[in-house]
Structure 1
Amino acid sequence: MIRRVCDLLRRLAAERRGGVLMLFAVSLVPMTFAVGMGIDYARAVRLRTKLNAIADAAALGAVSQPMMNIVDDTQVGAAATAMFNGQAAGLEGLVATPKVTVTITHPEGATSRAVAVSYTADSRNAFAGILNLRSIGVGGASTAVATAAPNVDFYLALDTSPSMGLATTSAGMATMDQALGCTFACHSNRIEINTSSFPDLIVDTARFAINKKYNGYTQINGEYVIFIDADGSYIYYNKTQNVAARCNQGGRDACVYNRDGSYVDSYWYAKNKGVRMRVTDERSAIQDLMTLAQQYSDQNKRRYHASLHTFDHKSNFKTLVAMPGPTAAANLSTVSSAASGIDLVAVNDRAGGGRPPNAEAGTEWLFTSFQSVLTQMGSIMPAKSGQGSDQPGDTPQAMLFIVTDGMSDENIGYGRTRTAMRDEQVAQCNAIKARGIRLAILYTEYTPESVADDEPYQRGLALKAIPNIAPQLTKCASPGLLYTVKTDQSMSTALQALFAKAMVTARLTR
């Protein structure tokens, strides 16, 4: 009997099947809590994802264009905080309102803004609360960086040297070459000295069809004339001895004069024939640019002012519109209207005794003077560009736009250059840029047609210089702000593209 009882106890001690049930019963509770806590964690992750999206929205909102127009950082920070809290208030699972911190800095000056939105929050637990773990902490951050479109003063300097009389289209070049044997328009008031070079400019009405836009005769100083184009040129008929004296070359009985009594020239011919030239395209390009600038100004709620200048011979720098003060009314429409006054320089001006206006003897053919225009513009523009913000004491950002074919033709102390922009003038450009002024150049590509009729030595110098023009202008311009326009391309489109490239944009970082 005792042996049987001992055997029973040994078998009972060796039995394991009941232990599995017991172990399962013991582990069931922690397993239930583990699954529940996993669900709590997943809920916290989803909540964090939503809060991150709200932080992104608050940061981006603080650098939106309307907010960039607000210069008070405290006001911007309060708006970002309110936006975050407003969107977060509707989220489920939050223990309390998140703690939000908005930090605003200006990494690139007053017109830039970096907004960092960071937060901490607690996600409510459903299961772990039984163990007194009532929440899971979550946090995140987002940063948005933007540069506001600044208030800008645009200084526009346009090349009006003789080579800017080149036709801008292949068809225009062919028209000029066929009629005059020259592809660009010579604007010379002394052309009557050698009329054999321009046989079609002193004309009779049978040989040279003139589009008579005005009918009927008018008496001017006792002479009978008829106007022939809107620029005010008119035709003298051989009615008196005085007129006959003017028109007695080659036995012709009619000739064309400008209203000041000077002969018309191939520049007049190009305009009368509707040939587009670089100098006339400059007019429309500036007018179109002012329209675009006004659109930017309206969209960005920024003040844009502009000045307009032309340059050629060193003695003939002109200001068509001066830069107004920073608080003055917008003047873009004024510049647009004044652009119609952009004109090709008159070579060998009669009033100057055979020289460009106010030029000294020996400099008759020296165009274009980069030394002069850079010196003149340097004196007109501010000593230091402002950042263009609305912060007290700040001034508009200054930008210089130059439109040129890039061929230097001046005397800089050692004779005629006839080269690409020289290193001395690149140094002038660098000095301007060092003042914080951005310098943009529209290069109207110089072509051999511009010097086709030059005497051989000067033509050789110019042709040798052409490959170096763009590299030198690139050095002069601010990085990325050289744009080239070629024959048969639109100068207006190119100038607008250069303008757009010079403006700033916003960006988002994480």
Structure 2
Amino acid sequence: MPTFNRFLTDRSGNFGLMTALLMVPLLGSAGMAVDFAHALSLRTQLYAAADAAAVGTLSDKSTTAAAVKMTGDGVISVGQDNARSIFVAQMQGELTASNVTTAVAVAKTGNKVTSSVSFSAAVPTTFMQVFGQKSVQISGTATATVQTASFMDFYILIDNTPSMGVGATPADVATMVDLTKNKSSNASCAFACHESGSNKGKDYYALAKKNKVTMRIDVVRQATQALTASAKADTDNQFRMAIYTFGAKAEAAGLSEIVPLTSDLDKVGSKVTEKTPNPQVGDSEYVLDLMTIPQQGYNDDTQTSFDSALTQLNTKIPAGGSGTSTADTQKIIFFVSDGVGDSYKASTCTKKTTGSRCQEPIDVSFCKAAKDRGIKIAVLYTTYLPLPTNDWYNTWIKPFQSEIPTKMQTCASPGLYFEVTPTQGITEAMQALFLKVVRMPRLTG
């Protein structure tokens, strides 16, 4: 009995005994951490693969093209195949398609395409097998959403009134001033006014052409043609375009249709650069060109009625739609102008008048009438050039020069305003504004 009691009360060797007893759980815990860390590392790799697959399939043109062609909502099979292929291509090392379960869904709802890539896998353990745990389950889901470009109708309104005959750059302006300088009065003109009457000697348009002066209307025409080409490259028959001006001649000033609404963007591009013979300038001139006037001062120079052009265009355009189908297209007025109106407007002009002649920044109430019908307005403001050597400019335009861009921006729908100065590229500006329209966030039903 004493021997047994001594055994019970003897404390020597307890540390070694306890260590032996705890060794298994300690090693198991450390091993569990290693196994879990390994599983989390593989899960991170799988998430990266799923992200790449979800985003990649929406970037693939075959997926977006299939979505655009769908007349309703539903699954996009080619998108699912693309996503699965991208996901499998990311597998490397111990991760292979054979030991990872995937579920892919790519579908269209309205004009929104959503892709979802889910994965799950059983990662074999090493240390945790001590506790009978042979694997660790990992899983996750990556999703991505993109809006397909809506079906849109662009009604491009080009200001071709005499003020767009100003030189396209400061150098062109200086050249025109020098070419038109009157030696006796020292007066000059920066505008290449296009006279069609008998007084052909003062057709400054012909003078500008002869001396290879580039006018603002020339640059806008080139930019419009380039826009149709870039729009065609960015669409799967989702866009239609129409081109309008303020009229070919002052005697019949008013909204003039150059190209009716069409999905044939090649036709639009070729039409705006089409030429017709004009013996007066000894050359051909463009269908989209500067408005002609019978003579200087014709009709008190009131050839720029934004009010009339926007009102007439508004009546031609159906109410704006959601853009989800060809039967419900979004409507966009794409307005390119220097922003100064000049028309008969005796009682409602916002600035001082000369008799009934009204020179003012654009009256935004006529923009609001279109926007209230769900029509978006994208405005490219071609900066109105100050002409400090011109008495007319100093008297009538300079007092409200600072208001012009503000009014043009107010005319535009939110986020759809762009100003381009003479030293910047109008072609690039038109394309940048176009992309703003196409890619701006939209509510989907």
Q: Shorter-normalised TM-score: what interval? A: 0.7 to 0.9
Cα RMSD after superposing both structures: 3.5
Name 1:224's counterpart in structure 2.
none
| 2:154 and 2:332 in contact (8 A); partners too | yes
Given the alignment, which residue of 241, 252, 255 partners 1:306? Answer: 241
User: Relative to structure 2, which stretch is displaced further, 73-82 or 336-345?
Assistant: 73-82
Please tell me the residue identity of whatever aligns with 2:66. Answer: I
Given the alignment, which residue of 295, 298, 310 partners 1:374? Answer: 310
Name 1:288's counterpart in structure 2.
226
Query: How big is the shift at 1:15?
Result: 4.0
Q: Which has the higher strand share?
A: 2
Name 2:291's counterpart in structure 1.
345
Name 1:417's counterpart in structure 2.
358
User: Relative to structure 2, which stretch is displaced further, 265-274 or 149-158?
Assistant: 149-158
Name 1:160's counterpart in structure 2.
160
Write the mapping of 1:109-120 to structure 2, written as runs, cut at 5 A. Answer: 110-120=110-120
Q: Deviations 1:270-292 (Å, cap 9, x if unpaired)?
A: 22221111122222222232333
| 1:80 and 1:102 in contact (8 A); partners too | no
Q: Deviations 1:354-404 (Å, cap 9, x if unpaired)?
A: 96xxxxxxx5532311112212222333322452x5x5x545544322111
Identity of aligned residues (%): 27
Query: How big is the shift at 1:475?
Result: 1.0
Query: How big is the shift at 1:419?
Result: 0.9
Name 2:60's counterpart in structure 1.
65
| 1:152 and 1:398 in contact (8 A); partners too | yes
| 2:322 and 2:328 in contact (8 A); partners too | yes
Write the mapping of 1:25-44 to structure 2, written as runs, cut at 5 A. Answer: 25-44=20-39
Query: How big is the shift at 1:187?
Result: 2.6
Please tell me the residue identity of whatever aligns with 2:65. Answer: N
Name 2:184's counterpart in structure 1.
none
Rg: which structure is higher? 1
| 1:158 and 1:402 in contact (8 A); partners too | yes
CA distance in structure 2 between the partners assigned to 1:85 and 1:185 by the alignment: 61
Write the mapping of 1:87-166 to structure 2, written as runs, cut at 5 A. Answer: 92=94, 97-98=100-101, 100=103, 102=105, 104=107, 106=109, 110-166=110-166
CA distance in structure 2 between the partners assigned to 1:486 and 1:93 by the alignment: 56
| 2:346 and 2:358 in contact (8 A); partners too | no
1:485 equivalenced with 2:407 (yes/no): no
| 2:80 and 2:106 in contact (8 A); partners too | no
1:185 equivalenced with 2:192 (yes/no): yes
| 2:339 and 2:384 in contact (8 A); partners too | yes
| 2:240 and 2:261 in contact (8 A); partners too | yes
Query: How big is the shift at 1:45?
Result: 1.0
| 2:52 and 2:87 in contact (8 A); partners too | no
| 1:294 and 1:332 in contact (8 A); partners too | no
CA distance in structure 1 between the partners assigned to 2:384 and 2:87 by the alignment: 61
CA distance in structure 2 between the partners assigned to 1:291 and 1:88 by the alignment: 37
1:184 is paired with a residue of what secondary structure? coil
Please tell me the residue identity of whatever aligns with 1:427. Answer: K
Write the mapping of 1:188-227 to structure 2, written as runs, cut at 5 A. Answer: 188-190=195-197, 192=199
CA distance in structure 1 between the partners assigned to 2:227 and 2:90 by the alignment: 45
2:13 is paired with a residue of what secondary structure? helix
TM-score, with structure 1 as normaliser: 0.69
Please tell me the residue identity of whatever aligns with 1:63. Answer: L
Figure out how many residues of one structure are paired with residues of the other and give that number.
Answer: 405
Name 1:54's counterpart in structure 2.
49
| 1:100 and 1:117 in contact (8 A); partners too | yes
Please tell me the residue identity of whatever aligns with 2:133. Answer: L
Relative contact order higher in (CA < 8 Å, ≥ 6 apart): 1
1:408 equivalenced with 2:349 (yes/no): no
CA distance in structure 2 between the partners assigned to 1:44 and 1:490 by the alignment: 54
Name 2:81's counterpart in structure 1.
79
In structure 1, the gaps of 5 or more residues are 193-256, 258-262, 356-362
TM-score, with structure 2 as normaliser: 0.78
Given the alignment, which residue of 389, 407, 421 partners 1:472? Answer: 407
